[in-house]
């Protein structure tokens, strides 16, 4: 069955780059907002019996982008698309993945239920905040990693005497994978969260004195964790400090903090359109996602993509 690539309005540039990689034209779709804020979607091509892929990260404005994705899925389902895959490079609400306080929701699970109910047959995503979110879905989830793209760039950068650092305990597993791939020692920063935008770094475990440092995290928004960790690493004698994150969801606070910080360069991907600003290097994942889409379409293995070191595109 032929493939159709539909671009949501969250990140049209990434959708165009993926379509270019696949050498498939973007599907003609009209997505508009009424004066009262309601979203309207119309697919202007025949999609009956087609294999449809919607490119839509649910980054800020999260609720608008999520609702648009659900409405587009419904439009495709009612137009008799054979299979609908939601390509969500950045999965919003992923940090609300458990009940860590009384009377709070597990919104990551709710979003999974909404996608399923809307008619999504499969999800393609990248670097979920918590890998177990895959289990929130009752449909297949292909979970890609930005590591091959970021590691390829760092290797080309030729950083010597490098230590990979996790900015908190939660990111230790991810940082360990980078350390092994880069053949570098691992260190960890202990942190205490004061508020949603403020973090205090309290201790360093591992050797960083006189060494270049690469901080690894799955995402940054206000850059509080990264900047607090970088300050502490500098106090412990680190030379140059770099940071690598899969998702740069950077607002004004995050961009300003990075600009004023001791971090020399933030290496991230274009999983969201907000991955930009001073000191930010944005790597394309169009090739990675495009290859994932091609393999899903052809019923081929997606797992082997984890081993490919590529800059994408």
Give the three-state DSSP class for 274.
coil
Using CA atoms, how far residue 168 sits from 130, 199, 203, 251, 274, in Å, is 14, 11, 10, 22, 23
Do 174 and 150 meet the contact criterion of CB atoms below 8 Å apart?
Answer: no
Q: Is 239 a residue of the active site?
A: no
Kindly provide the b/e burial profile for residues 240-264, where b requires at least 16 CB atoms within 10 angstroms of the residue's own CB. Answer: ebbbbbbbbbbeeebbebbeebebe
Do 8 and 56 meet the contact criterion of CB atoms below 8 Å apart?
Answer: yes
Burial of 89 (C-beta count, 10 Å sphere; 0-12/13-18/19+):
buried
Give the span between the Cα atoms of 114 and 61, in whole angstroms.
18
User: What SS3 string covers 60-106?
Assistant: CCHHHHHHHHHHHHHHHHHCCCCEEEEEECCCCCCCCCCCCCCCCCC
Helices (H), 85-218: 107-118, 147-157, 172-182
Out of 4, 64, 191, 276, the active site residue is 191
Give the span between the Cα atoms of 203 and 192, in whole angstroms.
10
Quote the tokens at residue 197.
Answer: 């935008």
Give the three-state DSSP class for 124.
strand
Chain position carrying tokens 């475990």: 205
Cα diameter, the chain: 61
> Which residues does the annotation mark as catalytic?
191
């Amino acid at each position: 069955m032929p493939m159709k690539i539909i671009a949501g309005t969250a990140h049209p540039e990434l959708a165009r780059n993926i379509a270019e990689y696949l050498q498939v034209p973007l599907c003609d779709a009209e997505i508009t907002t009424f004066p009262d804020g309601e979203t309207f979607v119309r697919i202007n091509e025949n999609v009956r019996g087609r294999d449809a892929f919607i490119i839509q990260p649910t980054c800020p404005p999260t609720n608008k982008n999520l609702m648009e994705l659900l409405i587009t899925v419904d439009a495709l389902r009612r137009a008799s698309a054979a299979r609908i895959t939601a390509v969500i490079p950045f999965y919003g609400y992923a940090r609300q993945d458990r009940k860590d306080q009384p009377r709070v929701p597990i919104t990551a699970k709710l979003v999974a239920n909404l996608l399923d109910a809307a008619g999504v047959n499969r999800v393609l995503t990248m670097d979920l905040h918590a890998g177990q979110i895959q289990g929130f879905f009752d449909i297949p989830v292909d979970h890609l990693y930005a590591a091959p793209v970021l590691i390829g760039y760092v290797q080309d950068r030729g950083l010597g005497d490098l230590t990979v650092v996790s900015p908190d305990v939660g990111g230790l597993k991810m940082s360990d994978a980078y350390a092994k791939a880069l053949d570098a020692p691992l260190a960890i920063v202990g942190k205490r969260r004061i508020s949603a935008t403020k973090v205090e770094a309290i201790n360093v475990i591992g050797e960083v004195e006189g060494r270049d440092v690469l901080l690894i995290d799955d995402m940054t928004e206000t850059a509080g964790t990264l900047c607090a960790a970088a300050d502490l690493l500098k106090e412990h004698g680190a030379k140059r400090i770099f940071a690598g994150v899969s998702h740069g969801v950077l607002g004004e606070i995050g961009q300003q903090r990075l600009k004023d910080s001791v971090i020399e360069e933030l290496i991230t991907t274009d999983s969201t359109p907000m991955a930009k600003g001073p000191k930010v290097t944005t790597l394309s994942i169009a090739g990675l996602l495009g290859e994932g889409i091609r393999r899903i379409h052809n019923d081929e293995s997606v797992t082997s993509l984890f081993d490919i070191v590529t800059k994408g595109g």
